[in-house]
């Protein structure tokens, strides 16, 4: 037999009370959001790279078609090829482990491969420099619409482009070909383009973040509700109730029902504080719950200091009697261990009966899964007419256990509402069987 240790009980209590700290939950959600955002970023970077490759090809074709000078066509082709090459490399990196791990670098590389690379190419080829605001604006608007996450990264890409241009301007010191007001106007338009892009990304990501945490909070609430429902109802019945909320009632031809009562608990309640009394009872019933889960037994309910369980439903099985017998013997051992550890003298009186029952959920409020039928009444009588510290079973249960367990014939006893009944005391497993 397996007995619950103190550490197992502590773990069970922690699980039942859901003793997970708020900080740990928040950290998990934050990590989950970052992972989701990173996956989104990588997918959108691949999309942006594809769009940039197509756009680059159209621009190269346009410059080659409109430029009448061979030298101009060669320069346009060189600049276009460099930009396309950078974009192609970034697209390939998005599909590698490096790209998935450092998407921020791919983001900046895609941006600067158009904005900075074009400026550098022009400076190197023509020894001249002009602010290519049309390229810049196109790139920043594309990023803000296709990759609307991490506003600070958009800001870095814009600032980096400006720093690159100013550095080249100081190195090459080109002659201004247009009036200063024209450059100021372009700068003003560019400033507001960047500001609107960054601000729109910031607002979009705030909305996405709130939506993500709201959805996660709803999922957590649903999981808590699910766990609470499964603490009240068997999983199969809970699913039926969710799918079709109506009265649920099923007949089972043969199950085994167990009733257990803690002897002496009522007397203890007269000289023990309510809080200490409930704590003791909770500890004992948690041990029983552990055993029910261990043996695959369905706990039905507790009534004061009585514990009711059943085997053979809602999932029908052929070994329901042996499962209940094993649990009953383990319950006795668990109480013995509990008494030693807590300096108590509790004993339990257990009654077991086998036969048909009706099981279901009734009512509108505070509903619970319950059993009805003569088998339930007999199990209750086996317990109430039993002997403290013993396990009393009826004739039907005896017939299913006699080959595997040692049972002692108690004889005929007068049972309220039933008359005389032959009963047996379950002792232990028959090791010779």
Q: What is the pLDDT of residues 243-297, one digit of tens each?
A: 666 667 788 999 999 999 988 777 777 777 888 888 888 999 999 999 999 999 9
Question: What tokens were used for 43?
Answer: 């997918």
* Rounded Cα gap, residues 119 and 428, in angstroms: 89
Sort strands 369-372 and 298-303 into parallel, antiparallel or unpaired: unpaired
Q: What is the pLDDT of residues 95-121, one digit of tens each?
A: 888 888 888 888 998 889 888 888 888
Neighbours of 281 (CB within 10 A): 18
What local confidence, expressed as pLDDT, does residue 12 receive? 40
What local confidence, expressed as pLDDT, does residue 246 receive? 64
Single out the residue of 225, 221, 237, 382 nearest to residue 299, CA to CA: 237
Mean pLDDT over 368-397 rounds to 91
Give the CATH number of domain 245-429.
3.30.70.1230
Mean pLDDT over 5-33 rounds to 51
Q: Evaluate if residue 3 carries a pLDDT over 70.
A: no
What local confidence, expressed as pLDDT, does residue 375 receive? 93
What local confidence, expressed as pLDDT, does residue 79 receive? 78
Residue 161 parent element (H or E): helix 151-172
**pTM, rounded to two decimals:** 0.57
Single out the residue of 310, 307, 296 nearest to residue 332, CA to CA: 307
Q: What is the pLDDT of residues 45-79, one digit of tens each?
A: 899 888 888 888 887 888 778 777 777 677 777 77
* Rounded Cα gap, residues 169 and 143, in angstroms: 26
Single out the residue of 6, 111, 105 nearest to residue 48, CA to CA: 111
* Rounded Cα gap, residues 136 and 122, in angstroms: 14
Q: What is the pLDDT of residues 174-190, one digit of tens each?
A: 666 667 787 788 888 88
What local confidence, expressed as pLDDT, does residue 203 receive? 94
Q: With the C-alpha atoms ordered 284, 285, 289, 292, is the resulting torsion angle positive or negative?
A: positive
Domain locations in the chain?
Answer: 21-221, 245-429
User: Is the distance from CB of 305 to CB of 262 less than 8 angstroms?
Assistant: yes
- The more confident residue out of 334 and 184 is 334
- The more confident residue out of 425 and 81 is 425
Q: What is the pLDDT of residues 271-282, one digit of tens each?
A: 778 888 888 889
The percentage of residues in the chain with a pLDDT greater than 90, rounded to a whole number, is 30
């Amino acid at each position: 037999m397996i007995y619950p240790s103190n550490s197992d009980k502590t773990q069970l209590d922690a699980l039942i009370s859901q003793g997970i700290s708020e900080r740990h939950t928040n950290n998990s959600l934050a990590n989950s959001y970052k992972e989701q955002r990173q996956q989104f970023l990588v997918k959108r970077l691949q999309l942006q790279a594809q769009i940039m490759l197509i756009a680059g090809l159209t621009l190269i074709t346009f410059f080659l078609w409109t430029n009448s000078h061979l030298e101009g066509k060669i320069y346009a082709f060189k600049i276009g090829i460099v930009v396309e090459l950078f974009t192609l490399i970034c697209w390939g990196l998005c599909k590698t482990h490096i790209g998935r791990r450092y998407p921020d670098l791919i983001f900046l590389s895609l941006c600067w491969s158009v904005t900075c690379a074009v400026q550098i190419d022009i400076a190197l080829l023509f020894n001249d420099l002009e602010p290519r605001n049309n390229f810049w604006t196109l790139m920043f608007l594309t990023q803000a619409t296709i990759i609307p996450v991490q506003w600070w990264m958009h800001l870095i890409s814009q600032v980096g482009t400006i720093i690159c241009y100013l550095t080249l301007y100081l190195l090459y010191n080109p002659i201004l070909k247009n009036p200063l007001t024209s450059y100021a106007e372009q700068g003003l338009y560019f400033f507001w383009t960047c500001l609107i892009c960054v601000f729109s990304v910031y607002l979009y990501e705030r909305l996405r973040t709130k939506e993500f945490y709201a959805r996660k909070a709803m999922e957590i609430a649903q999981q808590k509700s699910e766990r609470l429902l499964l603490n009240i109802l068997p999983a199969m019945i809970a699913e039926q109730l969710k799918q079709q909320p109506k009265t649920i009632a099923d007949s089972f031809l043969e199950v085994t029902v167990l009733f257990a009562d803690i002897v002496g608990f009522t007397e203890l309640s007269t000289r023990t504080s309510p809080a200490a009394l409930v704590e003791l009872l909770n500890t004992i019933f948690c041990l029983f719950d552990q055993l029910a889960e261990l043996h695959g037994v369905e706990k039905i309910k507790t009534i004061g200091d009585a514990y009711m369980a059943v085997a053979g439903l809602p999932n029908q099985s052929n070994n329901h009697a042996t499962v209940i017998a094993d649990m009953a013997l383990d319950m006795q051992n668990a109480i013995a261990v509990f008494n030693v550890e807590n300096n108590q003298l509790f004993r339990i009186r257990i009654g077991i009966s086998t036969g048909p029952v009706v099981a279901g959920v009734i009512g509108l409020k505070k509903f619970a899964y319950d059993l009805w039928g003569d088998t339930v009444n007999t199990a209750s009588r086996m317990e109430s007419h039993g002997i403290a510290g013993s396990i009393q079973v009826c004739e039907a249960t005896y017939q299913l256990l006699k080959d595997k367990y040692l049972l002692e014939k108690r004889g005929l006893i007068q049972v309220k509402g039933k008359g005389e009944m032959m009963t047996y005391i379950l002792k232990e497993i028959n090791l010779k069987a």
